[in-house]
Structure 1
Amino acid sequence: MDPIKYLFEKPVLNGRMSRWTLMLSEFDLKYVPLKAIKGKVVADFLADNPVKETDIVNTWSFPDEDIVHVEDDVWDLYFDGASNNMECGIGVLIISPRGEHVPVSIKLDFAVTNNAAEYEACLLGLQSANKLGVMKLTVHGDSSLVINQVTGSWKIKSSSLAPYQAKIEELEKLFEEVRYVYLPRRKISSTTHQNAR
């Protein structure tokens, strides 16, 4: 709804809105809605003023031909998982190239180790990014075990973590590009302290 129309047509207003209405009343304003442009008018105008083909070729110019760098549509994914005697939980933050944030968090109803919780968080992040239609992704995590095993730098020794690795490899096929970045905890905490000042 149009806020000006709301102010002038609402019979009873409280607080700040009533003060605004009172201040605007001395100007004897009246709300008149904007008339819509009919689609036929635009179609008639385009039919009456056709564009010549020669004009199209001559008017097309590419002023940025010499730009070498073009920004990619790479999304960022941050994951974290934690497990203790009381409960287990995982969290994911997906950030679009335009800076939009999509947070996801889940409390796990089953007991897992800390490493398994980190893998669960990574899996949740990849699944969520896939559902959002993401094709290029940079995955950030503070678990050196998960990041190094997923990238192939370390071998998987635990049989309980092997299914996670297989599932992640399966999910990676759904993306054009997936890159993993290890974020040490001390780097995250120092950044947090600097931002808090």
Structure 2
Amino acid sequence: MDPIKYLFEKSVLNGRMSRWTLMLSEFDLKYVPLKAIKGKVVADFLADNPVEETDIIDTWSFPDEDIVRVEDDVWDLYFDEASDNMGCGIGVLIISPRGEHVPVSIKLDFAVTNNAAEYEACLLGLQSANKLGVMKLMVHGDSSLVINQVTGSWKIKSSSLAPYQAKIEELEKLFEEVRYVYLPREENQFADALSKLAALINIPNHMDSMPLCVERRTSPAYVNAVDDA
């Protein structure tokens, strides 16, 4: 109930409310209930009484209207494994949104199955991407077993692969978004080459790693020698 209406219309008041009514009686007050205001009335009032300002503030401008494209922040990850009589290796290729390539090769000096090696490569890729500060990642692999198991399409029946799945789920929490895509082996050549390189090479016992730099040359070496001469 409206308090002013209560004071003016209640017949018997006592104490503090009576004093309030007495104080208000010296003013010529009359209670009138509030009526709803139609939107058209407000619009007509604003149209009849425009506000004149010399400085017009443009509140509808777009400060970034010159930006035509927002850079995608999704990174791409390719992983693969390779094994032969020389050993087993895994390869990972991480590509930034700007096209920068980060290759990683690791030789596995322990007994491992092909499926477990694929999981090792996938884990290596997730760990490497996390160290680079990647938040959104698209994972590409040519192992249908790994891709379908990590996405939940297939159940993991092997007890030896279950710990890999648990580790992957733990690493996925470090990213904002992780998506998995299966691709044919012929489209995963770079990661396949990195894994084969790691499998074929023999790293001396006194070394933990061997750096490698692969460059592209478009002309024979003697051309550069002639130019230098």
CA 1:103 to 1:23, structure 2 compared with 1: closer, same or farther past 3 Å? farther
Q: Which moved more, 1:5-14 or 1:179-188?
A: 5-14
Task: Among all aligned residue pairs of Structure 1 and Structure 2, give the percentage whose two residues are the same amino acid.
Answer: 91
CA distance in 2, matches of 1:146, 1:73: 25
TM-score by length of 1: 0.61
Higher relative CO (CA 8 A, sep ≥ 6), structure 1 or 2? 2
Instruction: Tell me the secondary structure at the aligned position of residue 103 of structure 2.
Output: strand
CA 1:61 to 1:129, structure 2 compared with 1: closer, same or farther past 3 Å? same
Match of 1:190 in 2: 219
CA 1:102 to 1:12, structure 2 compared with 1: closer, same or farther past 3 Å? farther
CA 1:64 to 1:116, structure 2 compared with 1: closer, same or farther past 3 Å? same
Shift of 1:167: 0.2
Instruction: Tell me the secondary structure at the aligned position of residue 56 of structure 1.
Output: coil
Match of 1:128 in 2: 128
Shift of 1:72: 2.5
Q: Which moved more, 1:38-47 or 1:117-126?
A: 38-47
Instruction: Give the conservation status (yes or no) of the 8 Å contact 1:91–1:104.
Output: yes
Match of 1:63 in 2: 63
Instruction: Give the conservation status (yes or no) of the 8 Å contact 2:77–2:139.
Output: yes
Shift of 1:54: 13
| Runs of 4+ residues deviating >6 angstroms | 1-60, 66-69, 186-196
Shift of 1:110: 0.5
Instruction: Tell me the secondary structure at the aligned position of residue 218 of structure 2.
Output: helix
Instruction: Give the conservation status (yes or no) of the 8 Å contact 1:141–1:183.
Output: yes
Deviations 1:8-58 (A, max 9, x none): 999999999999999999999999999999999999999999999999986
CA distance in 1, matches of 2:172, 2:104: 19
Shift of 1:83: 2.6
CA distance in 2, matches of 1:162, 1:29: 81
Instruction: Give the conservation status (yes or no) of the 8 Å contact 2:137–2:178.
Output: yes
Shift of 1:84: 3.2
Shift of 1:62: 2.7
Instruction: Give the conservation status (yes or no) of the 8 Å contact 2:71–2:97.
Output: no
Shift of 1:71: 4.0
Shift of 1:81: 1.0
In structure 1, stretches of 5+ residues that fail to align are none
Instruction: Give the conservation status (yes or no) of the 8 Å contact 1:144–1:182.
Output: yes
CA 1:37 to 1:111, structure 2 compared with 1: closer, same or farther past 3 Å? farther
Larger CA Rg, structure 1 vs 2: 2
CA distance in 1, matches of 2:81, 2:183: 14
Shift of 1:86: 3.1
Q: Which moved more, 1:65-74 or 1:21-30?
A: 21-30
CA 1:39 to 1:14, structure 2 compared with 1: closer, same or farther past 3 Å? same
CA distance in 2, matches of 1:77, 1:12: 82
Q: Which moved more, 1:55-64 or 1:178-187?
A: 55-64
Instruction: Give the conservation status (yes or no) of the 8 Å contact 1:83–1:113.
Output: no
Instruction: Give the conservation status (yes or no) of the 8 Å contact 1:89–1:106.
Output: yes
Q: Which moved more, 1:36-45 or 1:3-12?
A: 3-12
Shift of 1:102: 0.2
CA 1:105 to 1:26, structure 2 compared with 1: closer, same or farther past 3 Å? farther
Q: Which moved more, 1:16-25 or 1:37-46?
A: 16-25
Deviations 1:60-109 (A, max 9, x none): 95366598974430000000012334301000000000000000000011
Q: Which moved more, 1:111-120 or 1:81-90?
A: 81-90
CA 1:11 to 1:100, structure 2 compared with 1: closer, same or farther past 3 Å? farther
CA distance in 1, matches of 2:91, 2:10: 44
Instruction: Give the conservation status (yes or no) of the 8 Å contact 1:83–1:112.
Output: no
Shift of 1:184: 1.8
